[in-house]
Structure 1
Amino acid sequence: MRNVFVETDNVKRFLSALTALNQRGADEACLVVVDGLPGLGKTTTLKHWVARTGSVYLRAKKEWTPSWFMNELLDTLRVNPPHAFQKKYAKALEELAGRQASAALENMSFGLVIDEADHVSSKSAILETIRDISDMIELPTILVGMGKVNDNLARFPQVASRVSQKVRFEKASRDDVRALIQLRCEVAVADDLLDFVLKASSGFNREILEAIANIERFGLRNDPGPGGLGIADMAGQVILNDRASNRPIRVPGGL
């Protein structure tokens, strides 16, 4: 499978939100919430953006404390953490502000991404620490969750008021599936098989990529012909595993 990042509709909505963030009215309103079910490409999208911009990525932990969060942030920034929390906070601000300024000189985006933010979106102490960092240097901060972040933040108006953009990742459209197959699969695929991938995957990126891997594996061993690999070619073959039952889903038409 080709290692290509595909700009799906979800990716485009995320990038549009970042553009809107840069045009915000209130300087302190620089929080972005990215929400959606697991398997829709949120983490892949954010990690790609982080790699492209040199931004900072953290995965929240269920038992995070402000000190643990700060230690992980400094470790990711490759800075030896001081002992006192106040000094850790000051050092993190200094390092983040410096990187943000360097990015601005190159007309690049820069921000802090906190994945699995459901773990911390109901914890006042962590949220206040994140808000303080974001406020102090007007740092775009992206909270990525699986459906609970917005509801949890509603309990903390001082934080929720800083959210200027909300992006919900939706299930893949037919055009998304076509783009993923065309750009990532090394085997041509006919429209009927494309439509079956959309149906069998229920629009989840994770399952679509699993299907592409199975299609490619079969197609490289069998000549798909000029029209691409179709349902008749793969009849009876496993295309992916059902996420609810973990049972294999086969292409229809086999014995």
Structure 2
Amino acid sequence: MKNAFVETENYARFQSALKELERRGADEARLIIVDGEPGLGKTTILDRWATQTGCIYMRAAKQWTPIWFLETLLGAFRLPAPSSFKRGFGQAMDALVQRRTACALARRPFAVVIDEADHISRSIDIVESIRDFCDIAEVPFVLVGMGKIRANLTRYPQVTSRVSKYVRFERASLADVRALMDGLCDVPVADDLVGFTRQAADGFNREVKEAIANIERFGKRNGNGEGNPVRLAQMAGQTLLNDRKSGQPIIVPEAL
């Protein structure tokens, strides 16, 4: 499978949120909340965006404490672990301001992405630290979760009032699956197999990529290439992917 990044409709939704952040009315509204079911490409998109732009990407752990959060943030700047929360908070604030200033001079965006943010959305101490960093350092934060983060943050109106945009990742459309096939699969894939994959994967990117790997192996074994795409009927009786709910393989039927 090709090592490529495919710009899906969810990627476009996130990019739209970034543009709205730049046009925001309230200067303190520097939070973006990204959520959606597991397997929709949130981590792939946010990690890739952070890498391309030079922004900071962190993955929250369930056991995160305020000091652990600061250690991780400082580690992203290659700074040593703090001796105390107070000292670490000051070091992180200085590092964020310096990076934001440097990026502004270079006319590059800067933000901090925290993936798996459901884990911290009930921690008032961590959430308040993020609010302080947004307000004082003037750095946007992107919190990425799997559905609980919106509800959890509603208990903190002082935080939700600073949300510039909520981005809900949706299941892949037929056009998304076509784009993923074209961008990732080393053999061409016919439209009928693309449509069946969308149905079998139920729109989850993770399962679509599993199907692409199986289609690619099948196509290479059977000589498929330019002008001879892998078709649905050709793969009859082959395993396309595993069902997310049952764990059982989904077999391409002999006839539809």
1:113-192 aligned at under 5 Å gives the runs 113-192=113-192
Contact between 1:224 and 1:233, CA under 8 Å: does it hold in 2?
Answer: no
Secondary structure at 1:220 match in 2: helix
Q: In the alignment, which residue of structure 1 is the partner of 2:254?
A: 253
Q: What is the CA RMSD across the aligned residues, in angstroms?
A: 1.2
Q: How many residues align?
A: 254
Contact between 2:71 and 2:82, CA under 8 Å: does it hold in 1?
Answer: no
184-193 or 100-109, larger mean C-alpha shift: 100-109
Report the AA paired with residue 116 of structure 2: E
Can you list the C-alpha shifts for 1:127-149, whole angstroms capped at 9, x where unaligned?
10111111111111000000011
Report how far residue 227 of structure 1 moved: 4.2
Contact between 2:60 and 2:119, CA under 8 Å: does it hold in 1?
Answer: yes
Secondary structure at 2:58 match in 1: strand
Report how far residue 236 of structure 1 moved: 0.6
Secondary structure at 1:32 match in 2: strand
Report how far residue 248 of structure 1 moved: 0.6
Report the AA paired with residue 237 of structure 1: Q
Can you list the C-alpha shifts for 1:205-236, whole angstroms capped at 9, x where unaligned?
00000000100011011123624110111111
CA distance, structure 1, for counterparts of residue 107 and residue 234 of structure 2? 49
What stretches of structure 1 of length at least 5 have no aligned partner? none
What stretches of structure 2 of length at least 5 have no aligned partner? none
CA distance, structure 2, for counterparts of residue 232 and residue 85 of structure 1? 62
Contact between 1:117 and 1:145, CA under 8 Å: does it hold in 2?
Answer: yes
Report the AA paired with residue 131 of structure 1: R
What TM-score results when the alignment is normalised by the length of structure 1? 0.97
| Identity rate, percent | 54
Q: In the alignment, which residue of structure 2 is the partner of 1:9?
A: 9
Q: In the alignment, which residue of structure 2 is the partner of 1:47?
A: 47
Q: In the alignment, which residue of structure 2 is the partner of 1:18?
A: 18
